[in-house]
Structure 1
Amino acid sequence: MASHSTRVSGLAMRYALALYELADDARDIDTVAGDLSTLQSMLDESDDLRRFIASPLVSRDDHGKGMLALAEAAGLSAVTRNFLGLVAEKGRLFALPGMIVAFQRQLAKHRGEMTAEVVSARPLSDAQAAALAARLKQVVGNDVTVDARVDPSLLGGMVVRLGSRMVDSSLRSQLQRLSLSMKGVG
């Protein structure tokens, strides 16, 4: 369940909140959330798609046609298709990844969930991610979704960020602390 930590601009947040309200009014939040997850997977897997949505050389009309064709082929809901059409028409496709993240955050907030950003030296197994989520739920009292990334430079262990809290149990940090303490002794 690897994902990217993405900064969300005010523009992306406004569009995501508008989509959330539309999906809520249509009683279709879960479908739209699934559509956006599908779209995020497509963006993660395709350099061409990322270049297409970010290109200022592609006309708004061509962006709209391309996104409509993609939405049709992926079987996305009418709410999501209409949203993508509007975003393309307004020339805002470049902010789509941020919109997806902002929508997911709004949905998690509405459901009382929190997201823990976890960076580990090696990929977490499904069992490890589930155990970590369960332990974090005990600590904070809310459901916790694990957003896992891999950073081999940690050497071992992991860094967990949950809201404003951070726990760094990486081997790299432990070695740095040991090195600093040894310098202070001499």
Structure 2
Amino acid sequence: MPQGGSIVSGVAGRYATALFELAAEEKSIDAVGADLARFEALVAESADLARLVRAPVFTAEQQLAAIAAVLDKAGIGGLAGKFVRLVAAKRRLFLVSEIIRSYRALVAESRGVVRAEVTLAEQPSDKVLEEIRTALKGVAKGGEIVLDVKVDPAIIGGLVVKLGSRMVDASLRYKLNSIRLALKEVG
């Protein structure tokens, strides 16, 4: 179970926290996660389902009836199925993607997994990724590091790392901008 200040906040965070606590009590964290992933995949595959989830024009009853049919057809039951039905009944279906993201973050946090977003100018080799992972392990107090790698040629070179609320910009673009500002102050 996550300790101290939670990494999730807001309405979606409260829903995700409640679901995580129930799943932990029932010892079904992974099963709930798998069902939520299946539901999320269904939403991603169907434009109609995505519209139902995001559009406020449908009544709670319409959303609940449609979601119940989708969940039944997909075989998503148990705690995850009940939870998605509750979210629909409470007119919070538009938050379901954020809730699922927050649930995953809580699961990762409970297992000591730390996510880091790394932006590089070009696709890195496996060796470079492993070096970044090793360097971040010390900062993350030895927890498992999962890297979300983004490629952005605009940074020119170097890298930008976001780990929780911390960010280190060691990109060439940042360094060049710093030099440019320093030269303006001198001149």
Does TM-score exceed 0.5, indicating one fold? yes
Partner residue of 2:115?
115
Partner residue of 1:30?
30
Shift of 1:185: 3.5
1:100-142 Cα offsets, whole Å, 9 max, x none, are 1221221122112222122334455666545533431233221
Residues 63 and 158 of structure 1: is their aligned pair in 2 closer, same or farther, counting only changes over 3 Å?
A: farther
Partners of 1:17 and 1:177 lie apart in 2 by 42
SS in 1 for 2:118: strand
Partner residue of 1:15?
15
Partner residue of 1:163?
164
- Is 162-171 or 65-74 further displaced after alignment? 65-74
Shift of 1:88: 0.4
- Is 66-75 or 29-38 further displaced after alignment? 66-75
Partners of 1:126 and 1:46 lie apart in 2 by 34
Equivalent AA in structure 2 for residue 81 of structure 1? G
SS in 1 for 2:146: strand
SS in 1 for 2:91: coil
Partners of 2:11 and 2:37 lie apart in 1 by 20
Specify every segment of 5 or more residues in structure 1 that has no aligned partner in the other structure, as ranges.
1-6
- What is the TM-score with the length of structure 1 in the denominator? 0.78
If you compute each CA radius of gyration, which structure gives the higher value, 1 or 2? Answer: 2
Partner residue of 2:56?
56
Partner residue of 1:100?
100
- What is the TM-score with the length of structure 2 in the denominator? 0.78
- Is 161-170 or 73-82 further displaced after alignment? 73-82
SS in 2 for 1:11: helix
Residues 95 and 127 of structure 1: is their aligned pair in 2 closer, same or farther, counting only changes over 3 Å?
A: farther
Contact 1:32 1:77 in 2 (8 A): no
Partners of 1:25 and 1:74 lie apart in 2 by 25
Number of residue pairs matched by the alignment? 180
Residues 93 and 174 of structure 1: is their aligned pair in 2 closer, same or farther, counting only changes over 3 Å?
A: same
